[in-house]
Amino acid sequence: MQEDKIVVGLDIGTTKICVIVGRRNEYGKLEVMGMGKAVSDGVVRGIVTNIDKTVIGIQKAIAEAEEQSGIDIRVVNVGIAGQHIKSSIHHGSITRNSADDEITVEDINRLTNDMYRIVIPPGSEIIHVMPQSYTVDYEEGIKDPVGMSGVKLEADFHIITAQTNAINNINKCVRRANLEIENLILEPLASSLAVLSDEEKEAGVCLVDIGGGTTDIAIFHDNIIRHTAVIPFGGNIITSDIKQGCMVMQHQAELLKTKFGRAISEEASENEIVSIPGLRNRPPKEISIRNLSHIIEARMEEIVELVHAEIIASGYDGRLAGGIVITGGGSQLMGIRQLFEYMIGMDARIGYPNEHLGKSKIELVKSPMYATSVGLVLTGFKAIDDRENMYNERRPHTNNTSRQVRKEKEKASGGFFKNILDRTRNLLIDDMEDQDQY
């Protein structure tokens, strides 16, 4: 039963470590059973820099999620991000033995598995191999070649690589927290499952996930992921700019950003002033909301320009009818949607992970801040579905083959025994005739 399966997502982010325990209800929606959070002190821009602090954060978040859900967590689906993530397009092909036989799932898997053996830069590992389109005997643009006939099977693949050291550090942190990794997933892929609809992916859409340390980008077209990138700027750098520009403490800068900050400075009132408590024996500091918004706008414009550059580099500029979907903690900044629309000239919306969520006691997970965490759970269920579909596709073929073999054996054995019975009957008839003669 679908509701008996439980999947856990572990998001090791720059600002927070989040664990979500989920299962599917009878309607196929995700029901969040438990959630745990902890401050992330050992991660910088998506990369683990302090193993011990990260392990402590994971253990704290896991304990909280276990207490809420009543589940003993041992296996998790983990996200990976960071500037070290690279994506590229590679071409692969295999030659089949016969053109008469249909192309099977095994042929597709053989072609895909071959791509894991391509030469990549030293110190890197392939984490995802995603087919773009197939070619069968030089007939291009085929989305699903299973069942077709042909000798040469080719495909273009979107290959995503990550630094081996970054992967090893994540594995080490998870193992030290007494957990096992079921799947290691690129975070923008997980976020896309949580906030994008199939119609948007078909029409063409750019997902922008603004986290604490990085901004992750994933571009879809014709329901296929076409481009991925990670920009090493996020919400934390805006906080740092406010800290320096306004001469305040780090936690004060974060509060100013979240409560009063705007991505478009013109929308801020010139007369609006916020008073910040001063240091010991010092008077309070007054900060203009207009000046605060100028600082935020300058950095956000830089991030939007980098996002636009990635859209142009992907080759899909002007072809994304679904526009831009902004998610992550940074998407909650006031005026950010309007800034993206103004600078890039495309429709934009804020992505909430609501579409796949069922009723839940934990309303907090519906925030864009937890899109990646929800997406990691959804990715875990998708992996289960893919394995079951592959098993079901192979099973009928195996049953039919074994049934045919069994029939042939029965037919052969039936003919053999029939010959013995006929010969025995003939011998008995001969004996009876000989006795009659006597």
Q: State the residue for tokens 């073999």.
A: 405
Of all residues in the chain, what percent are helix, strand and coil, respectively (each to 5)? 45, 30, 25
Whether 405 shows a pLDDT value over 50: the answer reads: no
pLDDT, averaged across the chain: 87
What's the whole-model pTM score? 0.84
324-327, strands of its sheet edge to edge: 224-231, 215-221, 205-210, 324-327, 348-350
pLDDT score, position 437: 47
pLDDT score, position 76: 95
Please give the average per-residue pLDDT across 239-257, as a whole number.
93
CB-based contacts of 432, cutoff 8 Å, min separation 6: none
Please give the average per-residue pLDDT across 310-314, as a whole number.
95
Compare 101 and 370 and report the one with higher pLDDT.
370
Q: Which of 44-58, 230-244, 259-273, 384-398 has the lowest mean pLDDT?
A: 384-398
CA distances from 10 to 16, 351, 374, 383, 408 (A): 11, 20, 9, 16, 52
User: What's the CA gap between 142 and 140, in Å, rounded?
Assistant: 6
Whether 1 shows a pLDDT value over 50: the answer reads: no
User: 408-428: per-residue pLDDT in tens?
Assistant: 444 444 444 445 445 545 544
Q: State the residue for tokens 């994540």.
A: 170
Please give the average per-residue pLDDT across 161-179, as a whole number.
94
User: 178-204: per-residue pLDDT in tens?
Assistant: 999 999 999 999 999 999 999 999 999
pLDDT class of 270 with cuts at 50, 70, 90: confident
% of the chain with per-residue pLDDT over 70: 88
Please give the average per-residue pLDDT across 155-169, as a whole number.
94
Q: Which of 102-106, 182-186, 254-258, 389-393 has the lowest mean pLDDT?
A: 389-393
Provide the 3-class DSSP secondary structure of residue 150.
coil
pLDDT score, position 426: 56
- Please name every residue paired with 76 in a beta bridge, in sequence order, or none if there are none: 181
Please give the average per-residue pLDDT across 228-256, as a whole number.
92
Q: Which of 2-16, 332-346, 422-436 has the lowest mean pLDDT?
A: 422-436
Q: How many helices (H) and strands (E) does the chain have?
A: 10, 18
**List of E strands, 99-190:** 124-136, 139-142, 152-163, 180-186
pLDDT score, position 422: 55
User: What's the CA gap between 207 and 382, in Å, rounded?
Assistant: 19
pLDDT score, position 398: 45
Whether 406 shows a pLDDT value over 70: the answer reads: no
Please give the average per-residue pLDDT across 323-328, as a whole number.
96
pLDDT score, position 419: 52
Please give the average per-residue pLDDT across 94-107, as a whole number.
84
In this structure, the number of other CB atoms found within 10 A of the CB of residue 114 comes to 15
Q: How many Å from the N-terminal Cα to the C-terminal Cα in the chain?
A: 77
Domains (ranges, CATH) in the chain? 198-354 (3.30.420.40)
Residue whose C-alpha is closest to residue 206's, from 315, 116, 322: 322
b (16+ CB within 10 A) / e for 377-389: bbbbbbeeeeeee
pLDDT class of 430 with cuts at 50, 70, 90: low
Residues in the chain: 438
Please give the average per-residue pLDDT across 41-65, as a whole number.
93
User: 348-401: per-residue pLDDT in tens?
Assistant: 999 999 888 887 778 888 999 999 999 999 999 988 887 777 767 665 544 444
User: What's the CA gap between 180 and 42, in Å, rounded?
Assistant: 20
